[in-house]
Amino acid sequence: MKLIFRVIVLTLLMSLVFSSAWADKYSDTKKMFEDAGASNLFSSAYGYALFPTIGKAGFVVGGAYGKGRVYEQGKYIGDTAMTQATIGFQLGGEGFSQVVFFQDKRALNEFISGNFEFGADVQAVALTAAVGASANTGGSSATASGGKNNASISSAGYYKGMATFTITKGGLMYEASVGGQKFSYTKR
Q: Which amino acid is residue 80, in one-letter code?
A: T
Among 8-22, 57-71, 116-130, 147-161, the range of highest mean pLDDT: 57-71
pLDDT in tens, 139-182: 333 333 445 554 544 445 788 899 989 998 888 877 777 888 89
CA 128 to CA 136: how far, in whole Å? 15
0.85 exceeded by the pTM?
Answer: no
Q: How far apart are CA 2 and CA 105, in angstroms?
A: 58
